[in-house]
Amino acid sequence: MHAGNPNLPGLRSDLARAALFACFIANLGIGLCGGQSAPNPLQGDDNAHDPMMIKSGRDYFVFYTGDGIGVKTSKDRITWKNIGAALTTMPAWHKQYVPGAGSGLWAPDVHFRAGKFWLYYAVSTNGSRVSAIGLATAARLNPNGASIWQDQGMVINTGDANDYNAIDPNIYVDSTGTPWLVFGSWWTGIKMFQLDPATGKRAAESPMYSLAYHDNGAEGAFLIKRGKYFYLWLSWDVCCQGINSTYNIRVGRAAQLTGPYLDSKGIALIDQGGDLIDKGDARWKGPGHNAIFTEGDTAFLVNHAYDAENDGRATLQIRPLYWTAQDWPTLDKSKGEIAALGSRAKNGSGRKKPRASPAGSRGFVDVRGRKSDAKNAATSASRLPAPARK
């Protein structure tokens, strides 16, 4: 919720909160509650940069850029709390491949496969191609504190001789159980190659595919499959400059995993195509580095944006996606319907009719966060990457 809304003085009673969430769910975050625009219901520690979300058991986890990789947990996707860093000790190989590396690790991605959690992350410095992507694994995620992550070493590194950058990892697992690493930033854009399922490292003889490019930067890619299409999400332009950030979220799709990825006008993403999903507004600047989290019939767009009403603080956003009749995603409820990934069941209109929200899925709303204490904001600012991360 937004702490400045005069109609919501704390919402401390369970009854008031229940009424508010009922209104949110009824409007799916787009309609009005009590004559006011739907307020932002995230509570607690909602400061995050380059976030991704995963669920384990009854707990939601957000991993994000920070010292040792920041971690937050929630029971309901609404109220979040920080539980510390994923990695409390930096592996020695960080300095070997990225001499200027510190404890600030970028853009984590976590998935569960083969009985364990796989954490990929980037080690880099601002504006440099001297970068590496690392891997750690854990048997379980602990919602009450640090999980036990085992370092698995370096996956890929780049240097000045490369025309691409080993940052912003995302893992896509195909229908055969084979993982693929999608990564990259600026220079020649977004890349992908196949991983060895046993090691999580690059598969022998795997070629590297170029998926997307943009003159002013393309990074933060995330790949999903829905129905017969693969959807590639990415961020264009410049992050990490607070309210001056120009990040914006784009998407394209392909019939084959390796592409070509096209936007709705038929322009290839490698030729600077990409449908605009969100470019921000007067308050929320530079939305970007998104992930997709799916629960029940809803796919959620998870990203950060810079709050112009809170000194450009990087803030977690979690919003439902809607799908048009042509199977393109949108944040505009009036242009589409909610439908599960991989599902194309039809009602009379040829679209999937939304089911009732699953238990615990109260976040079918435009959740953009609220202000928190200055100390938390200052702590975050000190650990976020500086401008011109490319």
**In the structure encoding, which two tokens stand for residue 274, read together?**
């990409």
pLDDT score recorded for residue 185: 86
Q: Convert 55-92 to b/e letters by CB count within 10 Å (16 or more is b).
A: bbeeebbbbbbbbbbbbbbbeebbebebbbbbbeebee
112-148 pLDDT tens trace: 999 999 999 999 998 899 999 999 999 999 999 989 9
Contact indicator for 171, 63 with CB cutoff of 8 Å:
no
pLDDT score recorded for residue 340: 59
SS3 308: coil
| Average pLDDT over every residue of 280-302 | 95
CA-based R_g, the chain, Å: 20
Amino acid residing at 375: K
Could you please state the CATH topology (level 3) that the domain comprising 45-383 is classified under.
Answer: Tachylectin-2; Chain A (2.115.10)
**In the structure encoding, which two tokens stand for residue 55, read together?**
């669920």
How many residues belong to the chain? Answer: 390
Contact indicator for 216, 272 with CB cutoff of 8 Å:
no
Classify burial at 9, counting beta carbons within 10 Å of its beta carbon; exposed 0-12, middle 13-18, buried 19 or more.
Answer: exposed
SS3 269: helix
Task: List the Cα angle 143/21/144 in 5-degree steps.
Answer: 10
Quickly state the pLDDT bin for 341 (edges 50, 70, 90): low
Percent of the chain with pLDDT over 70: 77
Residue ranges of the chain that CATH labels 2.115.10.20:
45-383
- Report d(CA 160, CA 183) in Å as an integer: 17
Quickly state the pLDDT bin for 342 (edges 50, 70, 90): low
Question: Which residues are designated catalytic?
Answer: 50, 219
Residues paired with 316 in a beta bridge: 304
Residue with tokens 């491949």: 97
- Judged against a pLDDT cut of 60, whether residue 160 lies above it is answered with yes
